[in-house]
Amino acid sequence: MNLSLAPSATIAEQLAAHFQALDYDSLGNASRKALKRLLLDYLGVAVSGSQTGPGRVAGAYALSTGGRPEAALIGGSSRAPAEMAAFANAISSHSVELDDIDVLALFHFSPPVYSAALATAEQRSASGKDLLVSLAAGCEMMERLSKAANSSLRDRGYHTTPTCGTFGATIAAAKMLGLSADETVSALGLAGAQAGGLMEMYGPSMQKRFNPGPASRNGVTAATIAQLGFTGAATIFEGERGFLAAFTDENFPERLTEGLDQAYQFDIEFKPYSCARPIHNAIDCALEIRKRHAPDLKKISRILMERHPDWAHYHQNAKPLTYHEAQVSLPYSVAVALSDGQALFAQYDNARLTQPELRRLAAAVEITVDETLPRGVSCRMTAIMEDGTRHTAQVDYPKGSIQNPMNDAELRAKFDSLVIPVLGQERATAIADCVADIEHCGNVRDLMALLQPGQEGLAA
Q: Which domain CATH number covers 317?
A: 3.30.1330.120
Domain-embedded: residue 238: yes
Per-residue model confidence as pLDDT tens digits over 66-89: 999 999 999 999 999 999 999 999
Distance CA 395, CA 283 (A): 9
Whether 14 contacts 410, CB under 8 Å? no
Q: At 394, is the secondary structure helix, strand, or coil? A: strand
Domain-embedded: residue 405: no
Q: Strand 379-385 relative to strand 365-369: parallel, antiparallel, unpaired?
A: unpaired
Same domain, 223 and 180: yes
The phi and psi torsions of 433 (rounded to 5 degrees) equal -65, -40
Distance CA 365, CA 382 (A): 10
Sorted by sequence, the CB contacts under 8 Å of residue 354 that are 6+ apart come out as: none
- Report the C-alpha dihedral over residues 143, 190, 42, 353, rounded to 10 degrees: 90
Domain-embedded: residue 241: yes
The phi and psi torsions of 192 (rounded to 5 degrees) equal -60, -35
Whether 340 contacts 349, CB under 8 Å? no
Domain-embedded: residue 83: yes
Range of the domain at 389: 277-395
Confidence of residue 387 (pLDDT cuts 50, 70, 90): very high
Whether 97 contacts 80, CB under 8 Å? no
pLDDT at 215 over 50: yes
Q: Is the peptide bond before 333 cis (omega within 30 degrees of 0)?
A: no
The helix (run of H) or strand (run of E) holding residue 393 is strand 390-395
Same domain, 246 and 317: no
How far does CA 63 lie from the centroid of its chain?
24
Q: What pLDDT shows up at residue 8?
A: 86
In order, the DSSP letters of 135-203 are HHHHHHHHHHHHHHHTTHHHHTTB-HHHHHHHHHHHHHHHHHHT--HHHHHHHHHHHHTT---BSTT-S
Q: What pLDDT shows up at residue 59?
A: 98
Domain-embedded: residue 414: no
CATH number at residue 70: 1.10.4100.10
Distance CA 268, CA 146 (A): 14
- pLDDT, mean over the chain: 96
Kindly state the DSSP code that residue 101 receives in the 8-state scheme: B
Distance CA 123, CA 425 (A): 28
Q: What pLDDT shows up at residue 202?
A: 87
100: nearest Cα among 334, 327, 272, 352: 272
Whether 138 contacts 168, CB under 8 Å? yes
Same domain, 181 and 79: yes
Query: In b/e form, how buried is each residue of 408-419, taking b as 16+ CB within 10 angstroms?
Result: eeebbebbeebb
pLDDT at 168 over 70: yes
Same domain, 178 and 289: no
Average pLDDT over residues 136-164: 98
Same domain, 203 and 284: no
Average pLDDT over residues 20-24: 97
Distance CA 233, CA 415 (A): 41
Confidence of residue 458 (pLDDT cuts 50, 70, 90): very low
Same domain, 140 and 285: no
Instruction: Tell me the residue type at 249.
Output: D
**Residue 35 CB: number of other CB atoms within 10 A?**
23
Last residue of a domain, one of 336, 366, 395: 395
Domain-embedded: residue 457: no
Same domain, 228 and 309: no
304 - beta bridge partners?
A: 366, 382
Last residue of a domain, one of 361, 378, 395: 395
Q: What pLDDT shows up at residue 7?
A: 59
Last residue of a domain, one of 395, 418, 437: 395
303 - beta bridge partners?
A: 365, 383
pLDDT at 2 over 70: no
Share of the chain above pLDDT 70, in %: 97
Kindly state the DSSP code that residue 310 receives in the 8-state scheme: T
Average pLDDT over residues 347-355: 96
Output the CA angle 304-306-382, nearest 5 degrees: 35
**Residue 153 CB: number of other CB atoms within 10 A?**
26
Whether 208 contacts 161, CB under 8 Å? no
Same domain, 226 and 113: yes
Whether 273 contacts 334, CB under 8 Å? no
Domain-embedded: residue 442: no
Domain-embedded: residue 433: no
Same domain, 311 and 381: yes
**Domains contained in the chain, number:** 2
Same domain, 248 and 322: no
Same domain, 237 and 282: no
Distance CA 171, CA 169 (A): 6
Same domain, 132 and 30: yes
pLDDT at 176 over 90: yes
